[in-house]
Amino acid sequence: MQLNFAGREITIKLVYYGPALSGKTTNLKALHELTADDSHGRLMTLETRDDRTLFFDMLPLVFRAGDSPKRPGDRSYTPIDPTMGMSLRLKVFTVPGQVLHGATRRLVLQGADGVAFVADSQLTETENNAASFLDLRANLKELNVAVRDLPLVIQFNKRDLPAIRSDDEIKALARQGREPVFRASALTGEGVVETFFGLLHLTWSKLEAEHQLSRIIGIQPHEFVPVAARKMGIKRDVPVMLQSCLGGNLDFKAKDA
């Protein structure tokens, strides 16, 4: 997180991690599609000729939190008006999945406030998922971050394909693990928004606990994620969306109460 009081800005960095071809970029593309045009910038992809991510993809999401509604034509309205709340900048990155880009993955991971791990549901990819998670852990260690301290959600992507790990299996695994688990078909957009808001929620819980960001922004703690969803043009109810999460600890209700 970067806090810029002078510019009234808070930047939160979210990273989509996972094995090669698990659908990280597809998640970002879907997120870009599903959010309102005025809440996101262009999706920047730094890719090689064969459509594989070379360095990263980046989707910037920007909205104002804690402000009063916009008043068109109000000349006193300037970007640095302190009464207008803070500008929330969510920067969503993907890492390159291919094994050889280890150094790049570490660079992108640096400073991440939360990580969504995009796993490939196909049975044949089980080992690659595990290897990529070990890679994540090694890179975090290199960056002096404990996996336990990092907001982390897991997405089982490609639920629309045949020969995948079964729902029952994933449910059972999710119940035993610590991380919230979401199912998705990023290609059709299913589960993408849920995963994103699950991650945002978890990340926000942590940042709020550590920095009392709600006070800085001027917003009620439990309002943040719903406000973010609204600003991003997501019509669905956030708590309902988060119910699609399997197992793990999202900590949403606990913070609410």
Partner 1 sequence: MMQDKAETQSPISDEPLRLEDLVDREALVELCDSFFTLFGIPVRVLSKDGTLLADAAREHDLCGYINTFASGRAACGATVGAVKMSDPHEDDGTLVHPCFSGLEYRVVAIDYDARRIGRFILGPYLPAEVTDVPSSLLELDPNVNEPSAKSLMLKVPRAKQDTVQRVARHLKAALDLILFSGHKTLLTSQMHLLSVRESFRELTEKQARLQEAYDRLRELDRLKSNFLATVSHELRTPLTSIIGYGEMLAEGIAGPLNDEQKEFVGTIREKGEQLLQLIQSLLDMSKLESGTMSVRKERVRIEDVIGEVIKTLTPTARKKGVTLRLEADANLPELRADPERLRQVFINLGDNATKFTPSGGSVTYRVTTLARGSSADEGGFALMSPVRAQIEVRVMDTGIGIPENEREKVFDAFYQVDSSSTREYGGTGLGLSIVKRLVEAHDGTIVVEENTPRGAVFVVSLPVPHGA
Q: In this chain, which stretch among 29-37, 55-63, 174-182, 218-226 interacts with partner 1, using CB under 8 A?
A: 55-63
Q: Does 11 interact with partner 1 (rule: CB under 8 A)?
A: yes
How many positions of this chain bind partner 1 (CB under 8 A)? 43
Enter the tokens of residue 188. 């059709």
Q: What CA–CA distances, in Å, run from 129 to 60, 68, 90? A: 27, 44, 26
Task: Supply the minimum distance, in Å, between the C-beta of residue 209 and partner 1.
Answer: 12
Q: Does 102 interact with partner 1 (rule: CB under 8 A)?
A: yes
Q: Does 53 interact with partner 1 (rule: CB under 8 A)?
A: no
Q: In this chain, which stretch among 51-59, 118-126, 160-168, 175-183 interacts with partner 1, using CB under 8 A?
A: 51-59
Q: Does 73 interact with partner 1 (rule: CB under 8 A)?
A: yes
85, HSE (Cβ side, Cα atoms, 13 Å): 19
Q: Give the one residue of 22, 27, 86, 113 binding partner 1; rule: CB under 8 A.
A: 113
Q: In this chain, which stretch among 25-33, 71-79, 177-185, 234-242 interacts with partner 1, using CB under 8 A?
A: 71-79
Q: Does 147 interact with partner 1 (rule: CB under 8 A)?
A: no
Q: In this chain, which stretch among 95-103, 152-160, 166-174, 219-227 interacts with partner 1, using CB under 8 A?
A: 95-103
Q: Does 110 interact with partner 1 (rule: CB under 8 A)?
A: yes
Enter the tokens of residue 40. 């996101």
The CA angle 104-110-116, to the nearest 5 degrees, is 90
Give the 3-state secondary structure of residue 235. Answer: coil
Burial code (b: 16+ CB inside 10 Å, e: under 16) for 138-174 equals ebbeeeebeeeebbbbbbbbbbeeeebbeeeebeeeb
- Residues 185-224, mask of contacts with partner 1 (x by CB under 8 A): ----------------------x--x--------------
Give the 3-state secondary structure of residue 247. Answer: coil
Enter the tokens of residue 167. 């729902």
194 phi/psi in degrees, rounded to 5 = -60, -50
Q: In this chain, which stretch among 28-36, 74-82, 183-191, 243-251 interacts with partner 1, using CB under 8 A?
A: 74-82
Q: What CA–CA distances, in Å, run from 133 to 19, 98, 152, 209, 256? A: 8, 13, 11, 26, 31
Q: Does 55 interact with partner 1 (rule: CB under 8 A)?
A: yes
| Helix spans in 143-187 (H) | 167-176
Binding site for partner 1 (CB under 8 A): 1-2, 7, 9, 11, 13, 41-42, 44, 46, 54-56, 58, 60, 62, 70, 72-75, 77-79, 87, 89, 91, 93, 101-104, 106-108, 110-111, 113, 143-145, 207, 210
